[in-house]
Structure 1
């Protein structure tokens, strides 16, 4: 919101500088982002009238003009094509300085003397977007009655300061000059001068000539209309144009400018219909119908939906409520009668309509934040007054005011003691009442409390705490003393899940993996790259309604594609070794109208080799490396025993080189070497390993309590056995069989060698295990150990057809 300092002074007496006012408003919660001085650096620019125009004797594109600057005639050469004899223009005389810093001097152009320069709006620092089209890049033409020889800065309203407000969404009342003036009057303790509409009306009544029906009262709670006849469409007065321009609005015509002026002054958006183009003078406020179309004022065809509120006549839509009017009833130079609209529309409906159509206007911005429902009739009368004063039309007697439900007063009880408790500083009852009265609230006493009637323009005040906030900001936040917090305190700490997740990060980082973060948004084609079949549950993805791009149009159901893209990006830049991991969320759709299901996942990928050290050679980052990383992680988390089972059905992984993980009867995820087809799709080297685990399930089987045992008092006995066993037999199954057969005396089993070679029959392999036995109450004899070893050999023979090697 751009607030004119000079315009503000019409409503309240201000005796402080614009910058001081900006500081006071900011401290009161109405943030002023900056103060701009208009016309800064401009001097010696006055108004003049072109008396004559004649061709330049030595140049085809130049003309020689005689300009009257208030009793003094000046010869000025110009190339402008939009000037005519009799036009009043701003003239930079000798010694003048323009907004760009250019200094004007007497000069000769092609041998003819020129004593000054005609100015465009840009040369005076005026935004060309606020100029009429033919003057945006040409000489600025002033209204015919403009006095001559006057300072152009004063005439054009450039002797002013503009306060740029950065309002919070709840302060829609300050999107108007009157709204800001209320704040200033309360801050300075000065009376507020409000415009009081008063004008002469025609004897004839509006009754029978116009009609308003509201069909959807939930979206339109009030609609006021006034009829103006004998309309003379033309330019608005210069003072009105300059105020509109200073607010960033381009003047169009007197009728349209009045509606914009009232919106800036009172905060009530308005619209003017060409009355003769409205069928039967009948306005119907209703929802749009499916497929209904309308040409808006910008010339674009708009398709309405039942979610949008339309302004129609019996023949169809003539406007989109609160957003933009229709081209069919536009006010033009041929207009002789207008119907003025001043209404209250549902803020949520306007916001949704504006977003759906991609149209955001000054009017929609105000409706979205909430306007003063009690000011609709006042705004219509103010517009009628301005039209009458400009002699641009005659106002028909009476006003249409359709309000389906009577306006209800909001009365809130305020406890001064509660205000003191909340603010931490005592604000006497009388001061609190004075502050609220200064803000145009009505206050009356009710015992020790105050009963406060909230004005209709303060739609943001609904509770006692809102009144306390008003008292705080007007009393002064800087006057509230600083105090230490008090009350019951709670020690902050991490939850079990947060603590374990932090430990997972430390464990993986300690094993040489780098943590990365990838987008939660992705593209459906990544599922093709992962080699997933058409019926894979991972293909059920949450689609975004308004994606940033096609590349990020759905929510991910797997973590691995993002990590593989990270590896591929590094590989293409010759970073060929590395391992990364990520802890993040995946998303699965639920029934319509419900939020998607979110699950936390841990995933990692690795390629290449480790970095060699002085005491260790480089090792390939293969399946066994990643399996070791996981086993370290499981030891840290103290999980239930985790079983690695062959994974033969996951199309993203290499069959025979991958495994699924299970612990405590819960499936945790998958680890293994990725399928060659997947690697080809991502442009990765021949061998990449990865795992993806359901983190929530992993945490369920984690955190087993520590169990401490005494150190053994008797020596242990160690035996090594080697067996011939069929290739492809899982080592985990063999170890489990050894543990069962070894009984309670077998304390540990360790596979230390697997051999395939010439001394082993075809289709078999040699597996060597280290066994450790001990008892807590005695030293074991050779006989006892031999019996256990024989039982183990017998179990392996029966279960796997294994033979002991000599």
Structure 2
């Protein structure tokens, strides 16, 4: 919202406060002023209104004119090169001795041998910024209205001393989209009364507007009020210069007196109006209805608009003449030949206007105000104000009364306020008298009973509905900077991480400590990737991909069912940029639903996934660098669960998109919680990757199973005994199954069983492999004897031979 300082001064006595100081006060009260801009960058001196008495061609220059100009106190001979200068014009004259912006001094000079005493000025030469200049005067001198007083100082006439305040008006403050709304605001801030405009119709016409036009509303829910005024005998001409200046300051280009007056009242009252040429309207009946499906209208921008039943239209009983609250129709537009005006002042439903704007792409000053809501009590008043101005500046005669349909709610809300609660909420000590004074400054009527106030809310302030709204009004006028600085009272509690938050950070630290880098990818994916690399326990739920109703792109249309496709995409991206050894992990959510048509939120499941390719620095082997393989990634998982003290097992499995012989599911307490293994070579080739290994873990299941119960294990008093044993086994035998059997048979003396070597190849029969295990024996009650260890060892050998046909490697 652009607010002219000089225009505002017509409604509130600003008392000479500078525009900058006023802007600061408005900002402090709650409406941010984004900037202050002056009409001219520098002021001129000794610039007056002149009358061109005569204008002849310069005898020695075809493009120069020799003008005799009356400036009130004298007649000056001025040579002017402007193409639009002519005899009889009122113009802006800088007299000899005048100083224009840029310290440009006007002197008596000779041009082609003839003396020139002064300068006929354009607005640019006076320092007026381009956007404040009427379009017809962007080239050439500025021609003043014929009623401009000769000799008058041009500064006031041209509004050159004005400044424009740019206000950032939020959606809830629709009242601040009008000069009167800002006037009430500034009046409250400066403790000054608001001077309301003249709405009195001066003509004494015996004719009644209702006798010339009738109003009928079919769509009563969308148009609770419609008023039609009739103004006869208007003369279309430029609007007065002061009005043009105010409109330009507000960012609106002047057109003619009728259109300018409707725009002026729009900005003044915040109430949009529309003027129809009554003769071109071709009817004495106004009918407001919903548009018929496929109906068309040519709007003022000469575009043909196809309408729907969602659009509200103003018709002449048969054909649409305007899109309600948005734009008028070209067929009934005011032209230079217009003599009689049908003036519309109406209240339209904000949602209906918003839908029409969205469908047509038409947004205007009018639609903006209807969308945010207008003051019901100003609708008719704005019509009378426009009639007053049309009589005064368009020579019109307003007929008595108006034709209207009125089912509008004019009721005012009341809000109860207690002074004690106000101070309790604000931590302040505002007296009851001061609260009463603030309400009076805001012009909110109220009844007071000691500390209790019943406040009546004017209809112009539709944003105020509850006590907290009044509380905000009181504190912003009182002054936020006057509130005391206080610390909140009450028992405080030191913030800390929850157990799950702490554990998540610990796991993040673990992954980073073993050499993985954290990655963050989108929760949205594409149709190609949505069903890739889904963990088996998720697959068993038969998930249905959840598609967005309005995706930004096809690449981000579905809620993901796995973290791995995007991690693989990150690997590809980095490998293409010469990063050969890459290891990523991510902790994030997937979204699982079994519904074709979503009726509830998908189940959000937290997962931890990783992807590794290239070489791996093995810290367990003195920083040895070796190619990534299955055991590297499996070791990362084992290290994680050792840290959490959770027993997990691995079982070989076949999973879609994974290598059929180098993949295992991860089980926790017999329940599958994820998988680990090599990416299928075909998928790796498609992604332009070398041998790549991944893992995916149900992170929520890990968090649920974790128990952070401090435990104590007594340090053994007696020494342990270690033995190594290597078995020759069939290739189909799983090393983990043998490991479990050794633990079972060796209990309770065997405390730990680790695999430390697997061998296949030379010196072994075809189809055989050698697996070596390291066994740790210990008895907490005594020192073990050799025969006890030997007996246990032999039982283990026998059991492996019987169950797996394995024998000791010699």
Structure 2 alignment gaps of length 5 or more: none
Q: Are residue 11 (structure 1) and residue 19 (structure 2) matched?
A: no
Where does residue 563 of structure 2 map in the other structure?
559
Q: Does 1:144 align with 2:146?
A: yes
Tell me: CA distance 1:122–1:79, structure 2 relative to 1, closer, same or farther (3 Å).
closer
> What is the aligned partner in structure 2 of residue 466 from structure 1?
469
Q: 1: CA distance between counterparts of 2:382 and 2:741?
A: 91
Structure 1 equivalent of residue 165 of structure 2:
163
- Which residue does the alignment assign to 2:649? 643
Cα displacement (A) at 1:307? 4.6
* Change in 2 beyond 3 A, CA 1:397/1:514: same
TM-aligned CA deviation for residue 523 of structure 1: 4.9
Structure-2 residue corresponding to 1:581: 585
| Equivalence for 1:204 | 207
Quote the Cα distance in structure 1 between the aligned partners of 2:686 and 2:602. 29
The equivalent residue for 1:174 is: 176
Q: In the aligned structure 2, how far is the partner of 1:667 from the partner of 1:114?
A: 100
* 1:194 equivalenced with 2:201 (yes/no): no
Give the alignment partner of residue 489 of structure 2, picking from 486, 489, 496: 486
2:662 pairs with one of 657, 666, 685: 657
Q: Who is 2:738 aligned against?
A: 734
In the other structure, the counterpart of 2:632 is 625
- Relative to structure 1, the CA distance from residue 237 to residue 114 in structure 2 (aligned partners, 3 Å threshold; closer, same or farther) is same
Structure 1 CA distance, aligned partners of 2:371 and 2:644?
Answer: 52
> What is the Cα deviation at residue 604 of structure 1?
2.9
- Partner of 1:297: helix, strand, or coil? coil
Which stretch shifts more, 498-507 or 658-667? 658-667
Q: Deviation at 1:449?
A: 1.4
Provide closer, same or farther for how the CA distance between residues 485 and 471 of structure 1 changes in structure 2, counting only shifts above 3 A: same
TM-score of the superposition, structure 1-length normalised?
0.88
Q: What residue is the counterpart of 2:414 in the other structure? A: 411
* Superposition deviation, residue 387 in structure 1: 0.9
Asked if 2 retains the 8 angstrom alpha-carbon contact of 1:638 and 1:704, the reply is no
8 Å CA contact 1:33–1:166 kept in 2: the answer is yes
Aligned to 1:240: 243
1: CA distance, partners of 2:528 / 2:99? 62
**Contact 2:198–2:388 (CA under 8 A) maintained in structure 1:** no
Show the 5 A alignment for 1:47-62: 47-48=49-50, 62=63
Distance 1:47 1:530 in 2: 83
The farther-off stretch of 666-675 and 196-205 is 666-675
C-alpha distance in structure 2 between counterparts of 1:115 and 1:214, whole Å: 65
Instruction: Return the offset for 1:411.
Output: 1.3
CA distance in 2, matches of 1:67, 1:523: 78
Deviation for aligned residue 1:51:
5.8
Distance 1:108 1:629, change over 3 A: farther
- Once the two structures are TM-superposed, the CA of residue 222 in structure 1 deviates from its matched residue by 3.1
Corresponding residue SS for 1:723: strand
Q: Structure 1 residues 702, 319: closer, same or farther in 2, change over 3 A?
A: farther
Instruction: Identify the range of structure 1 (418-427 vs 272-281) with the bigger mean alpha-carbon deviation.
Output: 272-281
Aligned length: 798
TM normalised by structure 2 equals: 0.88
Do 2:226 and 2:346's aligned partners in 1 also have CA atoms closer than 8 Å? yes
Quote how far apart the aligned CAs of 1:455 are.
0.6
Match of 2:423 in 1: 420
Q: Compare 587-596 and 741-750 and name the one that shifted more.
A: 587-596
The alignment's C-alpha RMSD in Å is: 3.6
Whether the aligned pair in 2 keeps the contact of 1:51 and 1:68 (CA below 8 Å) is yes
The residue aligned with 1:265 is: 268
Per-residue deviation, 1:261: 0.9
Please report how far the alpha carbon of residue 668 of structure 1 lies from its aligned counterpart in structure 2 after TM superposition.
3.1
Deviation, 1:165, is: 1.8
Post-superposition offset of 1:442: 0.8
Deviation at 1:28, TM superposition (A): 2.0
Alpha-carbon shift at residue 297 of structure 1 (Å): 2.7
Secondary structure of the equivalent of 1:259?
A: helix
Among 686, 693, 699, the alignment partner of 2:690 is: 686
Q: Which residue of 2 aligns with 1:568?
A: 572
8 A contact 1:69–1:148 mirrored in 2: yes
Partners of 1:557 and 1:259 lie apart in 2 by 58
Shift of 1:198: 0.3
Cα deviations by residue, 1:233-290 (Å, 9 ceiling, x for unpaired):
3321111110010111111222221121112111222222333444644444445555
- Displacement of 1:336 in angstroms is 3.1
* Uncovered stretches (5+) of structure 1, i.e. residues with no partner: none
Q: Distance in 1 between matches of 2:346 and 2:134?
A: 28
Cα deviation for residue 674 of structure 1 reads 2.9
In structure 2, relative to structure 1, the CA distance for the partners of 1:489 and 1:791 (3 Å cut) is: same
Task: Give the deviation of 1:102 after TM superposition.
Answer: 6.7
Worse overlay, 695-704 or 504-513: 695-704
Q: State which of 612, 634, 638 in structure 1 corresponds to 2:641.
A: 634
Q: Is the 8 A contact 2:58 2:66 kept in 1?
A: no
Alignment of 1:785-800 (within 5 A): 785-800=789-804
Query: Which runs of structure 2 are paired with 1:197-596 in the superposition (5 Å)?
Result: 197-199=199-201, 200=203, 202-278=205-281, 280-288=283-291, 290-446=293-449, 448-524=451-527, 540-543=545-548, 545=550, 547=552, 552=556, 556-587=560-591, 591-592=597-598
**Shift of residue 722, structure 1, vs aligned partner:** 1.4
Out of 589, 592, 616, the position equivalent to 2:623 is 616
CA–CA distance in structure 2, aligned partners of residues 97 and 741 of structure 1: 110
The residue aligned with 1:602 is 608
Q: Does structure 2 conserve the Cα–Cα contact (< 8 Å) formed by 1:5 and 1:163?
A: yes
